Amino acid sequence: MSAPLPYVLAIYGSPRRSGNSATLLGECLRGVATWTNNVEKVFLRDLTISPCLEIYACAKTGRCAIRDDFDLLAPKLEQADVVLLASPIMFYAVSAHTKALMDRCQSFWVKRYWLKEPINPDKLHRKGVFISVGATRGKRLFDGAILSARYFFDALDIEMAATLCFGGLDAAGDVLQHPEYLQQAYDLGVSLRDVVMKRKGAGFD
Protein backbone atom coordinates (compact mmCIF):
# COMPACT_ATOMS: atom_id res chain seq x y z
CA MET A 1 0.00 0.00 0.00
CA SER A 2 1.44 3.40 -0.93
CA ALA A 3 1.91 6.05 1.78
CA PRO A 4 -0.68 8.84 1.92
CA LEU A 5 0.22 12.03 0.10
CA PRO A 6 1.76 14.70 2.35
CA TYR A 7 -0.77 16.89 4.08
CA VAL A 8 -0.23 20.61 3.46
CA LEU A 9 -1.99 23.17 5.63
CA ALA A 10 -2.22 26.68 4.12
CA ILE A 11 -3.01 29.46 6.60
CA TYR A 12 -4.21 32.78 5.20
CA GLY A 13 -3.41 35.42 7.82
CA SER A 14 -4.57 38.60 6.07
CA PRO A 15 -7.89 40.31 6.72
CA ARG A 16 -8.05 40.55 2.91
CA ARG A 17 -9.28 37.31 1.40
CA SER A 18 -7.78 38.09 -2.01
CA GLY A 19 -4.94 40.43 -1.10
CA ASN A 20 -1.27 40.22 -1.97
CA SER A 21 -0.23 37.61 0.59
CA ALA A 22 -3.26 35.47 -0.29
CA THR A 23 -2.40 35.66 -4.00
CA LEU A 24 1.18 34.58 -3.32
CA LEU A 25 -0.01 31.74 -1.10
CA GLY A 26 -2.43 30.69 -3.85
CA GLU A 27 0.43 30.60 -6.37
CA CYS A 28 2.53 28.57 -3.95
CA LEU A 29 -0.38 26.12 -3.64
CA ARG A 30 -0.53 25.83 -7.43
CA GLY A 31 3.05 24.60 -7.22
CA VAL A 32 2.22 22.30 -4.30
CA ALA A 33 -0.59 20.83 -6.41
CA THR A 34 2.06 19.28 -8.69
CA TRP A 35 2.91 16.77 -5.91
CA THR A 36 -0.02 16.53 -3.50
CA ASN A 37 -3.76 17.11 -3.49
CA ASN A 38 -3.94 16.64 0.26
CA VAL A 39 -4.22 20.38 0.90
CA GLU A 40 -6.36 22.30 3.35
CA LYS A 41 -6.86 26.06 3.36
CA VAL A 42 -7.73 28.03 6.48
CA PHE A 43 -8.64 31.73 6.42
CA LEU A 44 -7.97 33.15 9.87
CA ARG A 45 -10.39 36.00 9.21
CA ASP A 46 -13.21 33.42 9.16
CA LEU A 47 -12.28 32.05 12.58
CA THR A 48 -12.73 33.41 16.06
CA ILE A 49 -9.47 32.96 17.90
CA SER A 50 -8.94 34.76 21.19
CA PRO A 51 -5.48 35.98 22.11
CA CYS A 52 -3.68 33.94 24.75
CA LEU A 53 -5.02 34.78 28.21
CA GLU A 54 -1.99 33.41 30.12
CA ILE A 55 -4.08 31.00 32.14
CA TYR A 56 -1.39 28.34 31.76
CA ALA A 57 -3.81 25.46 32.16
CA CYS A 58 -1.75 24.07 29.30
CA ALA A 59 1.10 23.60 31.77
CA LYS A 60 -0.96 20.84 33.38
CA THR A 61 -2.80 19.39 30.39
CA GLY A 62 -0.67 20.33 27.38
CA ARG A 63 -3.86 21.76 25.88
CA CYS A 64 -5.16 25.33 25.72
CA ALA A 65 -8.09 25.93 28.11
CA ILE A 66 -9.85 28.49 25.89
CA ARG A 67 -12.64 26.96 23.83
CA ASP A 68 -12.93 28.69 20.44
CA ASP A 69 -11.96 28.07 16.82
CA PHE A 70 -8.37 27.32 17.82
CA ASP A 71 -9.85 23.90 18.66
CA LEU A 72 -10.48 23.41 14.93
CA LEU A 73 -7.01 24.48 13.93
CA ALA A 74 -4.88 22.81 16.62
CA PRO A 75 -5.29 19.23 15.31
CA LYS A 76 -4.51 20.40 11.79
CA LEU A 77 -1.33 22.07 13.05
CA GLU A 78 -0.38 18.83 14.78
CA GLN A 79 -1.02 16.69 11.71
CA ALA A 80 0.31 18.79 8.83
CA ASP A 81 3.48 17.67 7.05
CA VAL A 82 3.91 21.20 5.72
CA VAL A 83 2.44 24.44 7.09
CA LEU A 84 2.34 27.44 4.76
CA LEU A 85 1.68 30.66 6.65
CA ALA A 86 0.97 33.94 4.86
CA SER A 87 0.60 37.30 6.59
CA PRO A 88 0.97 40.93 5.58
CA ILE A 89 3.19 43.20 7.62
CA MET A 90 1.24 45.36 10.01
CA PHE A 91 3.22 47.78 12.12
CA TYR A 92 6.38 45.79 11.39
CA ALA A 93 4.81 42.61 12.71
CA VAL A 94 2.41 39.93 11.47
CA SER A 95 -1.32 40.71 11.25
CA ALA A 96 -3.39 40.59 14.45
CA HIS A 97 -5.19 37.49 13.15
CA THR A 98 -1.88 35.74 12.68
CA LYS A 99 -0.48 36.93 16.01
CA ALA A 100 -3.50 35.65 17.93
CA LEU A 101 -2.93 32.22 16.39
CA MET A 102 0.78 32.36 17.20
CA ASP A 103 0.14 33.32 20.80
CA ARG A 104 -2.34 30.47 21.26
CA CYS A 105 0.41 28.14 20.11
CA GLN A 106 2.09 28.90 23.42
CA SER A 107 0.16 25.80 24.51
CA PHE A 108 2.28 23.78 22.05
CA TRP A 109 5.43 25.52 23.28
CA VAL A 110 4.55 24.56 26.86
CA LYS A 111 3.83 20.99 25.77
CA ARG A 112 7.13 20.77 23.98
CA TYR A 113 9.48 22.56 26.36
CA TRP A 114 7.88 22.30 29.82
CA LEU A 115 6.05 18.99 29.61
CA LYS A 116 8.70 17.51 27.29
CA GLU A 117 6.01 15.87 25.17
CA PRO A 118 6.28 15.55 21.40
CA ILE A 119 3.88 17.56 19.25
CA ASN A 120 3.54 14.71 16.75
CA PRO A 121 5.66 11.63 17.47
CA ASP A 122 4.75 10.14 14.07
CA LYS A 123 6.00 13.11 12.08
CA LEU A 124 9.40 14.32 13.19
CA HIS A 125 10.60 16.35 10.20
CA ARG A 126 7.78 18.72 9.43
CA LYS A 127 8.42 21.87 7.41
CA GLY A 128 7.10 25.42 7.43
CA VAL A 129 7.09 28.31 4.98
CA PHE A 130 6.41 31.95 5.77
CA ILE A 131 5.10 34.28 3.08
CA SER A 132 4.78 38.00 3.70
CA VAL A 133 4.24 41.34 1.99
CA GLY A 134 4.55 44.97 3.02
CA ALA A 135 3.96 48.36 1.48
CA THR A 136 7.34 49.90 2.15
CA ARG A 137 10.80 48.69 1.25
CA GLY A 138 12.81 49.14 4.45
CA LYS A 139 15.74 46.80 4.90
CA ARG A 140 14.36 45.44 8.16
CA LEU A 141 10.69 45.37 7.15
CA PHE A 142 10.33 41.61 7.61
CA ASP A 143 12.78 41.02 10.46
CA GLY A 144 10.24 40.94 13.29
CA ALA A 145 7.65 38.88 11.41
CA ILE A 146 10.24 36.33 10.29
CA LEU A 147 11.42 35.87 13.87
CA SER A 148 7.82 35.45 15.03
CA ALA A 149 7.21 32.91 12.28
CA ARG A 150 10.40 31.00 13.12
CA TYR A 151 9.40 30.60 16.76
CA PHE A 152 5.77 29.87 15.90
CA PHE A 153 7.01 26.97 13.80
CA ASP A 154 9.47 25.95 16.49
CA ALA A 155 6.65 25.70 19.08
CA LEU A 156 5.07 23.18 16.70
CA ASP A 157 8.37 21.34 16.20
CA ILE A 158 8.34 22.47 12.58
CA GLU A 159 11.47 23.66 10.83
CA MET A 160 11.03 26.86 8.82
CA ALA A 161 12.29 25.72 5.42
CA ALA A 162 11.78 28.96 3.47
CA THR A 163 10.55 32.52 3.61
CA LEU A 164 9.19 34.55 0.70
CA CYS A 165 8.82 38.26 1.44
CA PHE A 166 8.15 41.17 -0.91
CA GLY A 167 8.02 44.89 -0.15
CA GLY A 168 6.46 47.61 -2.29
CA LEU A 169 3.03 45.95 -2.36
CA ASP A 170 0.12 47.91 -0.91
CA ALA A 171 -3.20 47.86 -2.81
CA ALA A 172 -4.88 44.45 -2.98
CA GLY A 173 -3.90 43.66 -6.57
CA ASP A 174 -0.38 45.12 -6.54
CA VAL A 175 1.32 41.73 -6.61
CA LEU A 176 -0.31 40.97 -9.97
CA GLN A 177 1.99 43.63 -11.48
CA HIS A 178 4.93 41.40 -10.55
CA PRO A 179 4.74 38.12 -12.45
CA GLU A 180 8.25 37.33 -11.22
CA TYR A 181 6.98 37.29 -7.61
CA LEU A 182 4.14 34.97 -8.60
CA GLN A 183 6.60 32.73 -10.38
CA GLN A 184 8.83 32.58 -7.29
CA ALA A 185 5.83 31.58 -5.18
CA TYR A 186 4.86 28.87 -7.67
CA ASP A 187 8.44 27.59 -7.88
CA LEU A 188 8.64 27.46 -4.10
CA GLY A 189 5.51 25.33 -3.99
CA VAL A 190 6.99 22.93 -6.55
CA SER A 191 10.34 22.77 -4.77
CA LEU A 192 8.76 21.86 -1.45
CA ARG A 193 8.26 18.39 -2.84
CA ASP A 194 11.99 17.73 -2.54
CA VAL A 195 12.10 19.25 0.94
CA VAL A 196 9.31 16.94 2.08
CA MET A 197 10.81 13.94 0.29
CA LYS A 198 14.03 14.36 2.28
CA ARG A 199 12.09 13.93 5.53
CA LYS A 200 13.05 10.72 7.28
CA GLY A 201 10.44 8.09 6.57
CA ALA A 202 8.62 10.14 3.93
CA GLY A 203 7.91 7.44 1.41
CA PHE A 204 5.77 8.82 -1.36
CA ASP A 205 6.14 9.10 -5.07
Distance between CA atoms of residues 55 and 18, nearest Å: 35
Query: Considering the complex, what minimum distance in angstroms separates the CB of residue 85 from ligand FMN?
Result: 12
The answer to whether 7 contacts ligand FMN (rule: CB under 6 A) is no
Burial class (CB in 10 A: 0-12, 13-18, 19+), 18: exposed
DSSP 135-204: SS--TTTTHHHHHHHHHHHHHTTEEEEEEEEE-S--STTGGGG-HHHHHHHHHHHHHHHHHHHTSTT---
Find the shortest distance in angstroms from Cβ 28 to ligand FMN: 13
β-sheet bridge partners, residue 159: 127
Would you say the C-alpha torsion 148, 154, 156, 160 has a positive or negative sign? positive
Q: How far is the CB of 82 from ligand FMN (least distance, A)?
A: 20
Provide, rounded to whole angstroms, the least separation between the CB of residue 96 and ligand FMN.
8
- Return the residues of window 127-186 that contact ligand FMN according to CB under 6 A: 133-136, 141, 169-170, 172
The region of 38-46, 57-65, 83-91, 176-184 touching ligand FMN under the rule CB under 6 A is 83-91
90: contact with ligand FMN by CB under 6 A: yes
Task: Count the residues of the shown chain that bind ligand FMN, applying the rule CB under 6 A.
Answer: 19
Q: Does 91 bind ligand FMN (CB under 6 A)?
A: yes
Rg (CA), the chain: 17
Give min distance, CB of 20 to ligand FMN, in A. Answer: 4
Using CB positions, name the residue nearest to ligand FMN: 19
Contact region with ligand FMN (CB under 6 A), list: 19-27, 34-42, 154-162, 197-205? 19-27
Which strands make up the sheet holding 158-166, listed edge to edge?
39-43, 8-12, 82-88, 126-133, 158-166
Which residues of this chain interact with ligand FMN, rule CB under 6 A? 14, 16, 19-22, 88-92, 133-136, 141, 169-170, 172
